[in-house]
Copies of this chain bind each other. A is one copy, B any other.
């Protein structure tokens, strides 16, 4: 049984109450605790040594990334982060300097986004170091954006450039908080999430939650220079388009809105965030599934096994 199957079996059994606006299955939980104009966003994210990071990555970068991953989820909800709690599992003979460096990176990013580190705990483990960050934030009551709102005919956008994040960007990415807030303030965003597992995997969450399909325009997928170079010089590397579609940890925003807003969002974005690309990469259609359109025609992106796709 894999993680997705486990979660699918567990989700319907979870305790709930009338304060839950969105529970398990979206980027953040959304809670109504009785604030007049705001709802609470609530999210946790864990990273584990040897799974998500290795000893050779500087602790400062591990700390920064641990927090950045959660902030990216708050961005996906166009929310404003407020406060986090930090849990660190440490072996008996831990190196205090490692922990101080970890917190240095985490605190610096927290200060950048004016959020507090309001406590947490260190605990002992007999295994690898693990970190879990819990975060609360807020979102205006009338502005909840989830994965479930994509409409047929919507234009699909993605921020930044995709692919080969593992070469470095996954440690230094900027959570798209400002961009997401600007989007939500100025446009009716129908569905949004952050890309952690690649378009080919993540967009499917939006499609499933919204009961729609999508056609992507092959030539509009923004590909990083790094993914292009890698494909050129490493014979074993993925083709750059495949890297952009299937590589994880891009932490860019993917969102949909009405095609009548498409030009305005592209123009406004360029004026407000001139250093960050915004690309219209496809459209929402009624036919279920995810397809890629290029000069040669249109083909299905298979649900599982991107190796299949690679060979096709």
Contacts and interface: CB of A to CB of B under 8 A. Distances in A.
Given A14-B117, A20-B83, A46-B87, A51 B126 contact: yes
A57 interface: no
B7 A122 contact: yes
Nearest to A51: B124
A152 interface: no
Interface string A90-122: 000000100110011001001100111111111
Copies of this chain, complex-wide, total 2
Q: Which residue, A24, A36, A45, A110, has most C-beta atoms of chain B within 10 A?
A: A24
Interface in A15-44: 15-17, 19-20, 22-26, 29, 31, 33-36, 38, 40, 42-44
Nearest to A125: B48
A54 B7 CA distance: 24
A271 interface: no
Given A17-B115, A25-B119, 20 more contacts: A1-B96, A3-B124, A6-B96, A9-B100, A10-B99, A13-B104, A20-B118, A22-B118, A23-B116, A24-B118, A31-B82, A33-B40, A34-B35, A44-B134, A46-B87, A48-B123, A48-B124, A51-B125, A126-B128, A130-B130
8 contacts: A19-B83, A20-B83, A23-B118, A31-B83, A36-B36, A51-B123, A126-B127, A134-B134
